[in-house]
Chain A
Amino acid sequence: MKKLLSGNEAIARGAYEAGCEVATAYPGTPSTEILQALAQYPEIKSEWSINEKVALEVASGASYAGARALAAMKHVGLNVAADPLFTLSYTGIQGGLVVVTADDPNLYSSQNEQDNRHFARSAKLPMLEPSDSDEARRFAALAFQLSEQYDCPVLLRSTTRISHGESLVELAERKPGPIPKKAVRDPAKYVMLPGYARPRHPLVEARMKKLKACAESFPENKIEKGEKKFGIITSGAAYQYAREAFPDASFLKLGMVWPLPEKLIHQFAQMVDKIYVVEELDPFLEDNLRAMGIKVIGKEFFPVVGELSPELVKKGISGPEPVPEIEFDNNIPDRPPNLCAGCPHRGVFYALKKLRAFVCGDIGCYTLAAQAPLKSLHTCLCMGAGVGQSFGMEKALGKSEKVVAVIGDSTFFHSGITPLIDIVYNQGQSTIIVLDNLTTAMTGRQGHPGSGFNIYGQPSPRISLEKLGEGIGIRTVTIDPYDLEQVERVLKQEMEDEKPSLVIARAPCVLIPEFRKTKKPPMQVSEEKCTGCKICLQLACPAISWVEKPDPAKKRKGFARIDKLSCTGCEICAKVCRDAAIFREDKN
């Protein structure tokens, strides 16, 4: 049966068919849907893990016990999981262990554009890279086989276009994994004391040699013979762009991007007059091919930055020949994403701006508060970084600079707790604000340890931030983010105080069911009273718009209007209005 599936759904399908029993992930674009799809299969124990490191550790535990297991994450998630990954390369596995890394060329929803193929080389692990959904399904199954055959985790690399692109997939039946399940007591393999780890390293090197030999005959490394004029070595989404641009060229399509099949590459090089390497992001294949002594053309003609496209491949190879250029109309305004109407984060950022705070930010919807007109978030580095950075800034600047950290609830659980403990232990004075909207909003409202539900939507223990703070020994203050007066008062007080504190601004995300219980009738603007001061527009609420209508008698250029359909009645705008022009229509 053929079905149209996204690459993420296809990876999940492939893992299911391969008998995967345990699957873990922390949500992150573009990888999130892999676990959402895996959770649909009752045979698989799926979980949203607290972060990627824990996800890989849980999956590796299942693998040690003989189960086939998968951990999925976005590219930067693998940085978090790198610690267990590198040593798993030494211990090896029992049941097949597949680590999916979904890279994000062009940074559609990420903080950097790193190329995770480098991880395969540095952790000394094989990496497969599919170029469409059916390959994603097949490669997931192949990855489990390779993992057991060579006793190591296998990396499966996707990119945004593969993960979120849909194409046809041939479905197969589920088969159980071949490894018996038991707790294997083998300290020389699983206890990485220096004395045990030292002899594992030569085994890793020997394994990579065997994998190199395997790559030579790996059926997904394919020569597609075409014209002799030039050949293209490529993989993943780049293969599709290159094939679109040059349907008649010769191709060496690599399904395994590490280790590389040196003999096959030399054989291909003999077949064509010159070789282009078409790859997204870094010259990973190119550098390795050059090291093999193969003359190739690559990044001198293709960008290192951003995504490729059929046009960019055409341009890179055809050189000065005219290729249609896409020129977007500069008069068309951008449409960047925005904090939703009624978003509980808005009032906190408005207050922080008023208090002239320097705000160490973090990863989540609230990072959007860096944009005009709120402009009240001043750093965003990686998950959890804002908490530690605010402490570092305090050490450098003293308390005078009014530095605070804001972090989302899911991000706080992911990696905000350890830096908070660091502040308490090292007697800092920082003010840490958790924007607790009870969900992982940015990636599509997944559960987390503070949300009260698990990946299946079933109730699960809700970890209390207040009790966590108490246990650490930091004062916690819980505030209502819609109560602007309280927000300002508490934040001012906490920023002045010399003791550290954890401020919890709690209200449900407007996109989750809990919100409906609190939703109020929409607000309205009195056209009569509005002076056109535009202060409400500084909230960047998509429900509030400006109506240009000069009125010399009223000395105003226009007035504000509130869209009834999108307004949630949060009242923040009424609280900032100096002319009492915003009110709620009384239904009676």
Chain B
Amino acid sequence: MSAVTNVLMAGVGGQGVILASSILAEVATESGLEVKKSEVHGMAQRGGAVSSHIRFGSKVYSPLIPAGEADIVFGAELLETCRWLPYLKPGGSIIANLQQIDPPAVFRGEMKYPGGLLEKLKQRDPGLIAFNALEQAIALGDARVATIMLAGALSKRLNFEQALWLEKVRELVPQKALEINLQAFQKGRALAGA
């Protein structure tokens, strides 16, 4: 079963997690692999938690990643990344946005945003890729490209050709914001390091 690669992508409705997961799924398809992608639509648009399971390999059965078998947990929001940590396999990789979006109980002042989350992530993956994609995206000129930046970082942890990623980013992002999305993707790759 190690022939299947499992990527769990999570975030908050509106962050573009579904778009990023579509880009990855198309990259894997174009590479000639069997791909399954599963997510739940519906209430997510109202600021709820969003997650997408992407699986690819020579043969893929379950659309859901089995517990503890995610090769990569990709989080567009810090707390949501931690929520899915139990899915990460031992030795798996983490790509995390350090941006924090308060859930309702926190913004209403009933609970505190939990502390020590980055440390928790580091315990599971000492070599994790983590940066504040929102701040980086704003610096680049458009807050909306944060998740594409994270997808750029993700591309460094997977063995697909860069040209293929760029082709799929071009196809799937809004055309009027194409240039800044491509820049964001490259910025993400640079921030991921070697």
Cβ contact within 8 Å between A340 and B47: yes
Give the number of residue pairs across the A-B interface with Cβ within 8 Å.
161
- B158 part of interface (Cβ distance < 8 Å): no
- B141 part of interface (Cβ distance < 8 Å): no
- A130 to nearest B CB, angstroms? 12
- B6 to nearest A CB, angstroms? 11
CB-CB contacts of B46-81 with A at 8 A, as 1s and 0s?
Answer: 111100000000001111101110000000000110
Q: Which of B30-38, B147-155, B182-190 makes up part of the contact surface?
A: B30-38
Cβ–Cβ < 8 Å partners of B106 in chain A: 333, 545
Cβ–Cβ < 8 Å partners of A548 in chain B: 109, 112
CB-CB contacts of A160-191 with B at 8 A, as 1s and 0s?
Answer: 11001111100000000000000000000000
Q: Which of A208-216, A274-282, A520-528, A534-542 makes up part of the contact surface?
A: A534-542
- A585 part of interface (Cβ distance < 8 Å): no
Cβ contact within 8 Å between B66 and A310: yes
- B38 to nearest A CB, angstroms? 4
| Chain B contact residues, majority secondary structure | mixed
Cβ–Cβ < 8 Å partners of A333 in chain B: 79, 103, 105-106, 111, 113-114
Partner of A324, one of B40, B60, B67, B113: B67
| Chain A contact residues, majority secondary structure | loop
Instruction: For chain B, give the interface size range.
Output: 35 or more
Cβ–Cβ < 8 Å partners of A517 in chain B: none
Roughly how many angstroms separate A519 CA and B35 CA in the complex, as a whole number? 42
- B169 part of interface (Cβ distance < 8 Å): no
- Provided the pairs A537-B109, A546-B109 are in contact, do residues A335 and B49 lie with their beta carbons within 8 angstroms? yes
Cβ contact within 8 Å between B46 and A340: yes
Cβ–Cβ < 8 Å partners of B113 in chain A: 333
- B25 part of interface (Cβ distance < 8 Å): yes
- B138 to nearest A CB, angstroms? 11
Residue of B nearest to A534 (CB): B109
Roughly how many angstroms separate A109 CA and B109 CA in the complex, as a whole number? 27
- A283 part of interface (Cβ distance < 8 Å): no
15 A/B residue pairs, CB under 8 Å, sorted by A: A4-B29, A4-B35, A108-B42, A161-B63, A164-B38, A166-B36, A167-B34, A168-B35, A245-B62, A310-B62, A311-B66, A335-B47, A537-B108, A542-B107, A544-B107
| Chain A positions near chain B (C-beta within 8 angstroms) | 2, 4, 29-30, 33, 108-109, 132, 160-161, 164-168, 237, 240-241, 243-245, 247, 309-311, 324-329, 331-340, 365, 368, 373, 442-444, 511, 534, 537, 540, 542, 544-546, 548, 558, 565
A-B pairs with lowest CB-CB distance, top 7: A546-B109, A109-B42, A337-B46, A337-B48, A244-B62, A545-B107, A29-B42
Additional A-B contacts beyond A166-B36, A309-B64 (11; CB < 8 A) = A166-B25, A166-B38, A241-B64, A244-B66, A247-B61, A326-B67, A336-B104, A338-B48, A442-B43, A444-B45, A540-B108
